[in-house]
Structure 1
Amino acid sequence: MTIVKSILVASFILLSSYYLYAGEKNEYADIRKNYENLIRNDIRAIPYINEYIKKAKKELDYPKLVQGYRDAVLYNPSEYKKLAYADSTIYAALRSKDDDLITYAYLGKGIVYYFSFKKFKPALDQYVKAYRYSKNTKNEYLKYKVIYHLGVVKSYLGYYEEAIDHFNECIAFFERKTKDKLHPNILYDHQRGYLNSLHQITICYGNLQQYSKADSIVTVALSNIADNKDFLLEKSYFFKSKGILKFYQDNYEGAIVDFHQSLPEIIKTGDFEWVSIIYFYLGKCYLKYDTEKSIRSFQKVDSIFNRHHFVVPRIRSNYEYLINYYKKEKDIGQQLYYTNQLLKADSLISKDFTYLSSKIHKEYDRQSLLDDKKYLLQTNHNRTLLTITFFVLTFIFLLLFILHYRKERNSTIKYKLLQEKFNAANSVEKGKGKSLIPVSVSKKMILSVEIIKELTEKLHAFEKNNEFIQKGLTQRKLALKLKTNTYYLSTFINETKGINFNRYIGEMRIHYITVLIYSHKKYLNYTIEALAEECGISTRQSFSDLFFEFNGMRPKDFIRKRKEEVDNS
C-alpha cells in the first residue's frame, strides 16, 4: 500500500526523463512539447507519442525510443497497453546497452505490474532485474527508486524487517538530497520520495505492532507538511495512518475523523487498496456506535473486492463481521453470499500472500467455511430449485409457443401462395394433371422441327392422361412408350422444360396430387402413404420431401390448412 499512485508514477517518469534526456535533439523536444504538460492517461498525447516513436525507430535512436515507449506507458489509459509498452521499453533499452536505461525499463514494468494489476510477485521479479543493472549506476535517484520499490513489495509480502532496511536507506538518501540546492522540480520529487519512504516505514512498524515508532514518524511527517498544499495526497495518507493508530489506541471517534479527512484525496487518486482498508477500519469503529453505518462500510469493502478482485489479509475479517451479522438477522441468502466471498478472498490471499496467509489467525478456518456453505446451500436448496424450475418451465413454454406461432405463420403464408398458384391455373380441369411447366423452344435446339412437333404432341397427351403417376416410370420406359429414344426424350425435356427428366416427373406428380387434395374433400382424409401411392411415388418419406421441395410445406400441414379452410367455409 503506497502513496505513489498516478502522481508518483507520472513524476517518476518525468523526473527520470529530466535526468536522461535533458540534452535531447530539438526535433524530439519539439514533439514532446505537445504533450509533456498533459496529465497521466490523457489519450490526447498518443498521436504525438506515436510520431516520436516512429522517428526514433527510423533513426535507430534507442535512447529516444526508450523515452517514447515510457511516455506511452504514462499516457495510455489502457492497463494492458501499458504492460505491452513496458515490454517494448525493455526491448529498446536492451538494444541501447545502457544500464541506466535498462534499469528504468525493468523498474517501469514492475511499477505497471504493481500499480495497475496488483501482481506483486511479477513486480518483484522486475524490480530485482532493475536492481542488478543499477548496482554500478552513478544516478543515485534511480538507484534509490529501485531500492524503494523492492521495499514496497517486500512489505506487501510480509517481510517487514527486510522492508524497513530498504526504507531506512531511502529516508537517509532523500532527506539528505532535500537539503541540497537543486532545481525546484527535482527538489520536489526528492521531498516526495522522502515522504513516501516515511509512509511505507510506518506501515511496516504498524504491522509489527510497534505503534509508538509509527506514531512518532506520522507526527513528524504531518508537522513538516502541515501548511504545504503541494503534498495533499501525502498528507491524506499520513492521516490514514494516524486513524489506524488511534483505532488501536481505542480512540474510535478520533479515528473516524482522521479516516474521513484522508478519504477524498485517496479516492481521487484511485488507490482502491487503501480505500478498502479505510472503509474496513471505519466499519470496525462504527461497530461501537452505529451498526447500520458499520455494515454499510463493510459492504463498501466487498464492492471494491468485486470490482478489482483484490484483497489484503488485514481486511479478511470484514467478511466474518458480515457473516455473523446476517446470521443474527437469519438472512440465509446474504449469509451464503458473504461466505462465498470469504472463500474467494482466502483463495486470493493464499496466492499473493503465502507468507502471511500461514500466520493469520482465522476464526473461520477453510473447512468450517465449506461446511457452513454446504449447510446454507442445503437450507436454500428447495427455494432455489422451485425458482429455477419455474423459470425453466416458463422459458420452455414461451419457446414452444414462439416456435408454434412461427410454424403456423409460415404454413399460412405457404398455403396462400399455393392458393394463388391454383387460382392462376383455374382454367385447367381439376384433377387432370396439366403441367405447370411451360414449354419453350430454344433457337439453338439441336432436334429437328419434325421431332420437336412429334414429341410435343405425345408428351401433351402423356400429361393430359396423367400417365406420369405410373409407378416405376423411368426415362427408358417413357421413351419406349412414346416410340422415341432416351437421348431425344432427355434432350427435348431439358430444352423445352428447362429441367431434367426426374424433376419433371416429380413436379408433375406433386402438382397432380396437390390439385386433388385441394379440389376433392375425400383426399383430405387419405393417409400420407395413400397419397404417395395415388401419385406414383414409392415411399412416404420421398413423397413428403418432394411435396415440401415443390410446395414449401409438408403434406400434413397443407391438408390441415385446407381442412380449416373447408370447415370455415
Structure 2
Amino acid sequence: MLKQISFFFLVLFTCFVSFAQTIKKYRESDLKDFKNKFYQNREIGVDSSLYYMNRLIESNDIAYKTFGYAATEYLKVREKQAINIPFKDSINKYLPKIAKTNKNYTLLFDIHILLGNTNKRRKLIKPALQNYITAENYALLAKDINRTIKIKGNIALIYQDMEELDKALNKAKETLELIETNKETLSNKYYSSKYKRMFNVAAIYASLYKNDKDKHQYADSSLHYYNSLLETKEFNLNSYYTGKVYYGMGTVYTLKEAYSKASSYLEKSLVLFTKSKSQSYLYKSYYNNGLNYYNLNKLEKAKQNFLAALSIKKDTILDDNYIKMHGYLSQIYTYQNKVDSANYYLNTYIRNHSKVSSRDREQFKEAIKIDFDQKIKDLKEDSTKKSFYYEIIVISLITIVLFISFLVFKNAKEKKRTKKKLNDLLEKISKKEDLTEKSFSLSNPLKIKDEQHQQIINGLLKIEEKKYFLKEEFNLYNAAKKIGTNTTYLSKIIKDYKKMSFNDYTNELRINYIIGVLSNDKKVRSYTTQAIGEIAGYKNAKSFTRIFKKHIGITPYQFIEKINKEL
C-alpha cells in the first residue's frame, strides 16, 4: 500500500514538473523582445525567429502565446515548411480568450494581420480579407495611425487580387487622405507611407485602363501619380523604388501604344533594377522593353531584350511571356535570315506550347496540314545543303502565319458565338423567361433505355428541384450516394443524356441558377463577385469568374452592367 502511495505521488510530481517546464512565466519586457524577433526574421534567420516564437508559445500570457502560434504558422507557410503542430486549432482555442482591452488591441491587430497574410499566401482571399477587416477595427480602437494606414493598404491589395478595382481604388485613396490628415503624427514615416499608397493608386488606375482602353482618364491619372512620385524630392527614393516608378510609367505608355516613350522609361528602369539587383523586375522590364521595340520594328534591340530576359528566367511554361518570347525570337531571326536560330526558337516555342495544351498542338497541326515534326527532322538532315536555308525560312514563315491566322479565326468564331449566346440570354431576361429550367426537361421526353436509367434521371431532377447543387459538398460521390447509384454509372448517364461531364453539368446548373437570381434580384447585383460566387456554390471569386466567363463569354461584373442597362 505504501509503495502504491509513493508511486502515485511520484507520478503527480513528474506531471507537475513537466507542466511547470511547459508553461513559463516571462516578464512583459521579455515577451516584447521575443515578439520583436519575428519582425527581424530576415536579419536573424527564420530558424532563430521560430525559436523565439516557441518561447512565446510556452508562456502563460494568452495574447503573446496566440501571437507565437500565428507568427509560427505564417513563417512556416512562407518558407513552405511542414506544420506538425495543429496551429490553427491552437489559434482558434486561444484567440477568443484574449481580453478585448486597450492593452491587447495592438496585439490583436498583429495577430489578425498575420492570419490575413497567411491566408493570402494560401490563396484564401475571402478569409484573408475578413482578418484584415478585423485588424483594421483593432487599429482604430487602439487609435494607432501607423497600423491603420498599413492595414488599409493591405485591404486595397486584396481587392485588387479579387479584381474589384473600384473598391481597391476607393480604399487606397481613403488611405492617402488619412496619411495627409495625420502628417504631423506620422513624422518621419509620412513620406514612406505616402509613397506606397500613391504607387498603389497609380497601379490601380493602370489596371482600370488595361480593362477599358476607351477611358483614357485612367491612363492620365496613373501617369499623374507616377510623375508626382518622381517630382516629390522628399520621397528620397532609392534605385529600386525609382525603378518601380519608371517601370510603371513604361507599362502605361505600352498600353497607350506609345512604344517609343514606353521604351525610354523602361530603359531607365533597367539601369536602376540592375543597380538594385532586382531579378524579378529586371525580367519583366526586359520583356516589356523587347515587346516595345518589336512593335517599333527595331528587331535587333527587341532581340537583345528578349535574350536578356530569357537569361534571367530559365525554362518555365508557367509564364506565358516566357513562351511568347521564343515565338518573337523565331520571327526576328527569320527576318534576319539566321536560319539555325530561327529553327531553334521556333521548335522551343512549339514544344513549350504543346506542354501547355496538347489539344491546341493537334489543332495547330491539323490547321497547317503538315507533319511538322517530320518536316523539322528532314530540314535538319538537309542542313548541309544550300536549299535548307530557303526551306526553313519558308516553313517558319508559313507556320507562323498559318498559326496566327488559325488563332484569329478561332477567336473571331468564339466571339461571334459568345455574342449570340449573350444576346439570346438578355432577350430571355427581358421577356422574363425562366432561366433555371431543369436540365432533364420532362416537357421534351428523353428516350430512356431502362428503368434504372429513369430512376437515376429522376434522382437528378430531385437534386435540381431542391437545388442541392448549390451546396459546397455537392460532388460526384455525394450526388451518386444521394441517388443510390455509383459514381461510374452516374457519370455515364450524364454523359449519355447530357453529352457532358459531371463537372460541366454542375457548372451549367450553377451558372443558370445565378443568372436567374441576378436578373430578378437587384440587391444581389450589388454584391461583390465573391459573395455572388458563394450563392452559386463556389468557394472563391476567381473560380466563379473563370467558369462564368467560360459559359457566358463575359465576367459577372460585365454581365451585371449589361443587365442593369437592359432592365
Using structure 2 for the length normalisation, give the TM-score.
0.47
Considering only CA atoms, is the larger Rg found in Structure 1 or Structure 2?
A: 1
